[in-house]
Structure 1
């Protein structure tokens, strides 16, 4: 009986390490790696947080500029996207789709576009146009409705995928603009307020 008790004691002692024993070296190394990875994650998140602060500050400046503009000037007849989407699954989730059954465009929602101007003084609006007519690009023309008379002309790129055509018309100044896209016999016009942030 004593021998059996002694064997049980030895097995228990071997199976349960002493609580005061230091962790093995490989566990210490693993913990150090985890701490280093956590420090990197914290640094990355702090950087991202700073970037979001800058973005939020820019949005606040654009909103303040928009409010001032609308207070000082007559309202611009901007177009609200009608939600009419082309028969293309790539546009199924597009917010700001606007069309008339023959030609479609993506619009900022609302159609107020505030951006920092480029060195030449203009701003570029990247947007997609859609048409079932695959033979030609969309011809884009913009006319300023307020202030000095200004016009810009541009054309979309060739269709990518289905009938989507990328475009990046450059507005030479801020103000209230009327933009018309044409392809074949189809045309679509929208109003947009462009602001320099």
Structure 2
């Protein structure tokens, strides 16, 4: 793969005021506040993303990955935390994606001064897009042909550690065994034949690069 999505992980924390569950009007429900925030994020950001595209990778995405809050059923929760996973296209700006999410929260605060919400970046990683004409890509295509593989450059729908090289200006490609469809699934696995092919690919590409 010569392209992959960028990554923006953010943490959202809403604050409220605890009270007994039988008198919720005495408190301020942090989970209810979180629902408002997440609905706004999905509506204002998620809806816009459906109109974006890139020739090599799937559409950009927004996922509410985790949410937790409250200590007991009969207590109004005074705290709630959620995490957001935003994946950007190679032609998107990661910082702009962060600022868009911050803008949604800022608008909500302006609409309701009583809303107490904090937003912080957990991690950011740029997308990858290496030119198909780059020497590394050409060399990888030659090796792929020698191994009987399809040499056409493609995109990768997830994110990898390759971003740490790409953000430093190092030409980066992705190649390896496994099926992304089962990544993070209960039956995640790697075919042994694919593993052996990948090992041969790495060895041959290294020889070609050093020749």
Band of TM-score, shorter chain: under 0.3
Which has more radius of gyration? 1
Identify which of structures 1 and 2 has the higher relative contact order when contacts are C-alpha pairs closer than 8 Å and 6+ apart.
2
What's the TM-score, normalizing by structure 1? 0.26
Point out the structure with the larger helix share. 2
